[in-house]
Amino acid sequence: MNSLFLAAGVAALYIIAYHTYGKFLGRKIFKLNPEAVCPSREFQDNVDFVPSKKQILFGHHFTSIAGTGPIVGPAIAIIWGWVPALIWILLGSIFMGAVHDFGALVISLRNQGRSIGDLASDVINQRVRTLFLLIIFLELLIVVAIFGVVIALVFNMYPQAVIPVWLQIPIAVWLGHMIYKKGAPPLPMSIIAVTLMYLTMIIGTHFPFKMPAIFGLNPIALWVVVLLIYAYIASILPVQTLLQPRDYINSHQLIIAMGLLAIGIIITKPDIVAPAVNLTPQGAPPVLPMIFVVVACGAISGFHSLVSSGTSSKQCENETNSLSIGFGGMLMEGMLAVFVLIACGAGLAIGFSKEGETFVGAAAFAHHYSSWASASGLGSKIGAFVTGSANMIEKIGIPYDLTITIMGVFVVSFAATTLDTATRLQRYIISELSTALKMPVFARKHPATIIAVGTALALAFYNGSGKGALILWPLFGTINQLLAGLALLVITVYLARKKVQIIYTMIPMVFMLFITGWAMLVNLNKFFITSDWLLLCIGLAVFSLEIWMVVESTLVLKKTVSC
């Protein structure tokens, strides 16, 4: 299969899906109202609730939902063959992920910008709200801790990305000042900011920074501490000071990176050497149901509902903008996931050298994907994507070393955005949970943020290495997809109460709850066999919360539909 035809076909399909299915949902199901007053204006405080231009909010929303998810998932799922991964990305992103993200954003816009978990009390009942918030807390705890480790690992792998990533902060603050304080037009200012960003990449290429071991902490652990301190500061600043402008820069960086990848594909036209289907790779778990859990971002991800209802709904200035932000943002992420498949399945085959040996063609792919063990690990997944992308982009005429820096910064920038947003979201969830449990002191901004960062830090240093969060990695995908199913459940009950046709959210809901329940049972059996009692206990607890919430919600849904 030629990757150029694949990329062009997918892009055309996504454009058609947006202008047909997406607009149908907006017009007939969610009935978007351009005259509705959005929470960003009703509760404007210029800290969390900030009316924002559609293109600026799209940048924040997309970079927040993307992170390294649409890179890591497809980069590992291709071991089962590029066809199963592609089918799930296409069908999942259009009929499940986009509906999920769009729906969560719309119902939050119509309910004071409250999170999907908090809304469960109005839509279903108070008990379900508490159960949902507990599941969300656990999800965000893992996200914050793991993404701190992810960024630390990438900094260690690509030290040339360190200087550009940190210099992006003052550039973003300057951009926010010019747009919000000086009233400068966003587009020309962002072009200047992105230009400065790419100049810092040239600096980073020539001056890579390797974190030393200090105070008895290894480099990874030290980076995790620094990143979580940064996440605390960034998450309590007004969104227009750092979060929005940096995400706006990253949205341009995404467009440039995807543009470079597209041009690289057009020039190189690499054939995909990965097998079309490989259902039994050595040491791999069963493709069903695990491929639906491994590929989350890029198809459907529960974390997206937290972004849609947690930060994006507080910044959306017009209800009609939710279509391009929620539905369109998910399709854009699906396109990125397809580019990852091409980079790993075709770009990697252009060749690379390691320890004096050169790997080309199928041998290059096999070096990363000969078995589940060789493909596992965050470093291997990210490395396959960065190397494959750099191989294609280099053919444009950009020096290989600079290309590696560009892609390394691309990965870190998106991971950093997810870290910031997840920390802010965790603060909201802790505030909502504290209110529900009648502990208002912890609902305040600083106590809630201290808990958010402190629990993530404790998890990261669970084993003293700074990588402790990785112990929960086997559960992360399942919990994340469970959250997607539960978010669709809340959206479905909401639509049923509004007497709107629910089939478009109910089918994805049933599928996600079934498939994640199946995946959870597979994991629980594995944890029991390997005597991994910590993961077994956490998995059982989450599974029990899911069953409890689904039972209560189903009774409410049945009663609502029959009325």
Whole-angstrom distance, CA of residue 116 vs CA of residue 487: 7
User: What confidence tier does 375 reach under pLDDT thresholds 50, 70, 90?
Assistant: low
The phi, psi pair for 217, rounded to 5°, reads -100, 135
Q: Mean pLDDT: which of 57-66, 76-85, 120-129, 520-529 is highest? A: 76-85
The enclosing domain of 366 has a CATH number of 1.20.1740.10
pLDDT score recorded for residue 379: 66
Boundaries of domain holding 368: 3-562
> Smallest Cα–Cα separation from 348: which of 66, 82, 13?
82
Structure tokens at 546: 């899911």
Predicted local distance difference test score (pLDDT) of residue 245: 86
pLDDT of the residue at 543 = 84
What does the pLDDT look like over 21-44, one tens digit per residue?
999 999 999 999 999 999 999 999
Q: How confident is the model at residue 416 (pLDDT cuts 50, 70, 90)?
A: confident
The mean-pLDDT minimum among 67-76, 190-199, 368-377 falls in: 368-377
**Distance between CA 325 and CA 159 in Å, rounded?**
33
pLDDT in tens, 240-293: 888 788 888 887 888 888 889 899 999 988 889 999 999 888 888 899 999 999
Long-range own/partner contacts, residues 177-183 (CB < 8 A, 24 or more apart): 179/56, 179/240, 179/245, 180/240
User: What's the gap between Cα 562 and its chain centre?
Assistant: 37
User: What is the 8-class DSSP label of residue 22?
Assistant: I
Side chain identity, residue 36: A
Res 376: pLDDT: 60
What span, in angstroms and rounded, lies between the C-alpha atoms of 106 and 103?
5
Residue 508 has pLDDT above 90, yes or no: yes
d(CA 519, CA 212) in angstroms, rounded, equals 40
CA 347 to chain centre: 23
Q: What is the pLDDT of residue 533?
A: 84
Helix, strand, coil fractions of the chain, as percent rounded to 5:
75, 0, 20
Comparing CA positions, the residue from 209, 226, 205 lying closest to residue 217 is 226
Burial of 387 (0-12, 13-18, 19+ CB in 10 A): buried
Q: What is the SS3 assignment for 113? A: coil
pLDDT band at 542 (very low <50, low <70, confident <90, very high): confident
pLDDT confidence bin for 464, thresholds 50/70/90: low
User: How many C-beta atoms lie closer than 10 Å to residue 424's C-beta?
Assistant: 25
Give the span between the Cα atoms of 54 and 43, in whole angstroms: 18
- How many CB atoms are closer than 10 A to CB 184? 15
Give me the pLDDT at residue 378, please.
63
- Calpha distance 177→314 (Å, rounded): 20
- Which pLDDT score is estimated for 510? 92
Question: Which comes out higher in pLDDT, residue 25 or 215?
Answer: 25
- How many domains does the structure of the chain reveal? 1
3-state secondary structure 344-388: HHCHHHHCEEECCEEECCHHHHHHHHCCHHHHCCHHHHHHHHHHH
DSSP code for 407? H
Q: How far apart are CA 267 and CA 3, in angstroms?
A: 11
User: Using CB atoms within 10 A of its CB, is residue 98 exposed (0-12), middle (13-18) or buried (19+)?
Assistant: buried
Work out the mean pLDDT of the chain and round it to a whole number.
88
